[in-house]
Structure 1
Amino acid sequence: MNYVIPPAAVAAVPVRGGGLFPVRRIFCVGRNYEAHAREMGHDPSREPPFFFTKPADTILTGGADMPYPSATEELHHEVELVVAIGTGGQDITEAEARTHIWGYAAGLDMTRRDLQAVAKKAARPWDMAKGFDHSAPIGDIVPAKELGKLTDGHIILTVNGETRQDGDIADMIWTVPEIIASLSRLVRLEPGDLIFTGTPEGVAEAKRGDMLEAMISGLPPLRVRIGD
């Protein structure tokens, strides 16, 4: 290829046991735990799943520090189960959804909450509240074949050793197969896509110098320090 500028490097996530998972796109499910939806002022019984995106290069891997982002004074943490897609498809059924999963990881959907609040009030997109640099820290991916269906398990976030978020992935409003089926009706999923599946209650501010640790049963922990 005769590129007129050097092409960007491929974003990739380490795999437990070796290798890298190349990232194509990042999709995120909004308000997928009932208690979190209510703490954000919404009735979860009244809405179908909805999605937003982050650029692939927002991932932060290897336990690297996350620089405190510009243009915000209210950075929030959201711990999430991340699903890595290994086989593409469109109009995927719930019954076959798990055959498209390559693996799972613990992740953080970091949010400029003050910018999101302004965008919501003005009926504007959330892009700059969600898709900023380093806004998607993620732990090592574990192949699905090593974990089984992963339908339940603790999902916890601590900040400086204190528990902030504590739930169970069994409490998702929309299950992983339902999420995959719903999203695949909107876009064709492709190998390399990541899906952040929503966060339990307890989202709160992460300040400069805080150490965040995300833990999900069966997955490597994710540790991220918020830099200056």
Structure 2
Amino acid sequence: MKKEKILLIIPAYNESEGIVGVVDKVAEYCQNSPYDIDYLVINDGSTDNEEVLLLQHGIHHVELIQNLGIGGAVQTGYLYAQRWGYDIAVQYDGDGQHDIESLPNLISPIINGNADFTVGSRFVSDSISDFKSTGARQLGIKILSLLIKWTSRIKIKDVTSGYRAGNRKVINQFAERYPSKYPEPESYMHLFAKGIRVQEVGVRMFERTTGESSINLRKAVGYMIDVSLSILIAALLEKGE
């Protein structure tokens, strides 16, 4: 039986402190895995010595000449997956928060034909994740989850999860169009509008030990307002098309 070709898309911005360790774990898993897996680090215009480390350690990567943000970096990975004919693309953070051992849970529904796109979740019953994020962030996640359910009638509990996977249909869609500012919650509007079957599955996640979050907690209220508006606008645009 033909094995699906799987690409791990690893966006990284100023992650020099931990990116080598993250990739080492990924590379070891890929070597001993029953799946046909490759990885690709997207160096998103880092201003630290991340590029030097990637070159020194022979890590497969693309260097962006300027910072495009998480959306642009991830879309670069989807474009690569489309160009080289991968069957499944997996979004995998470069800060060490995602557990590579949870990969089978994430991709099984896609391999079995039960879903086109999966979301690795800390908040569903089969998750074994001890790390759930701070109380304030969990509240924000719940609010965004309710907003997405209100606009789409579909409930995603861990709407900001960056541990996600998609089949070729999703790869082609995200290679052509991927939200730039708040890609995780906003992208669901585009997926639902195209009839993509989305399934949330339990995974383990860890608290980051290096780098800084892309979400500034001091501006949490502004973030919630902005991302909520992005979701509403995306929903309205999709309904109008």
What is the TM-score of this pair, normalised by structure 1?
0.29
Pick the structure with more helix per residue.
2
